[in-house]
Amino acid sequence: NENPLPPAEYTAENTRVYIPDTINIYPQFSGVVLGDDIGVKETWDNSDIGQCFSITGSDNSQLKIELGDVLPGNYKLFVSYVEQPGGCKVSLWQRQTQISKTVSSSGDKPVVKEVLAGNIRITELNNSVTLRLHTTGESNKFLWRKLMLVKDSD
């Protein structure tokens, strides 16, 4: 019983490891650290919204999102969220540096938004991003769908 195929030869020319340039970070699979006076509840909507974190808090409440499993490098950071009645303003930070403009998540009806937040550099020691809520009165909610990281070509 002889094998009709010769044994495979693996070389640099005929093998390659594919590393994607886009990474989606979904809240339900993320390591998060809750700051003071913040509440997080997982929600599900069968429309195009899908599974999200419904975040409520007071002004300057923070939610730190761990990115320790992301390879070091420079990335464009996008955030996907839902505009909704009672939506607050939110900004994204890496340590003490604001990386996004403050954007409003307030709207008359639920609408999915995906916006470029800014550029970040992930290193072994600098591997997280923080959502900071900016609330006023009843506008104290943020519906977070996901983060998207797109690796810059170095």
What does pTM read for this prediction?
0.84
Give the confidence band of 14 by pLDDT, cuts at 50, 70, 90.
Answer: confident
Mean pLDDT of the chain: 90
Classify 5 as helix, strand or coil. coil
Supply φ then ψ for residue 28, to 5 degrees: -70, -15
Per residue in 64-77, pLDDT tens? 999 999 999 999 99
Alpha-carbon gap, residue 14 to 52, rounded angstroms = 41
Per residue in 109-126, pLDDT tens? 888 999 999 999 999 999
Give the confidence band of 154 by pLDDT, cuts at 50, 70, 90.
Answer: low
Give the confidence band of 104 by pLDDT, cuts at 50, 70, 90.
Answer: very high
